[in-house]
Amino acid sequence: MAKLASCVALVSGGLRGIGRAIVDRFVAEGALVVVGDLDADGAGIEHDYAGRVLYQRLDVGSADEWSRCWAAAEARFGPVSILVNNAGTSRTGSIADTSDDDWDRVMTTNLFGTFAGCRLAVRSMAAQGGVIVNIASARGQRPGSSQCAYSASKAAVLNMTEGIALHCGEQGLPIRCNAICPGVVDTPLLRRNLEQRGDGAFAALAARQVIGRLGDPGEIADAALFLASDDARFITGATLNVDGGFRIRDL
């Protein structure tokens, strides 16, 4: 039996990379999925799934856009029972050279965007129940000196995930909230960034991983499916590391 049959899911940043892999897996398991994404080229994904996917433009840094996207999801498919906060951004910069603008942009997207989505989900799912899955990062547990804002934002997402789980438990709300910490994942964006570093950059990065390769977006989608399904019905406030050993590496 499909694990997400009759479920309605909203996935932010769902057009490409990890987000797209999550959409693919959820649809395959019976869900109706709303894809919220800043990219204006979203019509193609609706065509790919013929009525099982709805695209909505979503700037996660805007509470008003979250409300509009959620309303469109419910108007099309009914009550949303799964939220995956996947949209995110990063800027390179240490504590010495991160600009105010870069800090604000990363925090608005990664932290406020996750907060706004979770707040809306908790209010909306309070009666019928639901699941929240926050995509954080291994950098939220093991920061990088050149990713000051990104690491801090993802650490805050992990703390907030636990706080949401506690709130829902204390209030008797049938809502589970968990987080996934991906490691270095082979996405089109990563490939483009590595190409700028020259030949051998991809292989060198893969070799640094404990498992000896980069992650596949589908492996993060597998984890999201697990946490969203009844297989994880006794799990809340947890962080699932899907990082090929990134957090424990001695590098």
Residue pLDDT, tens place only, 139-182: 999 999 999 999 999 999 999 999 999 999 999 999 999 999 99
| Structural contact between residues 245 and 211, judged by C-beta atoms closer than 8 angstroms | yes
Q: Are 60 and 12 in contact (CB under 8 A)?
A: yes
DSSP annotation of 183 reads -
Low-confidence ranges of the chain (pLDDT < 70): 250-251
* pLDDT recorded at residue 249: 82
pLDDT of residue 206: 86
Return the domain boundaries, the chain.
8-185+217-241
pLDDT value of residue 147: 94
3-state helix, strand, coil in the chain (%, to 5): 45, 15, 35
Q: Tokens 């994880």 sit at which residue?
A: 232
DSSP class of residue 109 equals: I
What pLDDT score does 237 carry?
Answer: 98
Q: Can you give the pTM of this predicted structure?
A: 0.95
Q: What is the CATH number of domain 8-185+217-241?
A: 3.40.50.720
Q: Give the Cβ contact number of residue 156 at 10 Å.
A: 17
Nearest-10 crossing angle of helices 17-28, 217-228: 50
| Residues with catalytic function | 150
**Tell me, what's the pLDDT at 59?**
98
Neighbours of 164 (CB within 10 A): 26
Q: What's the confidence (pLDDT) of residue 41? A: 77
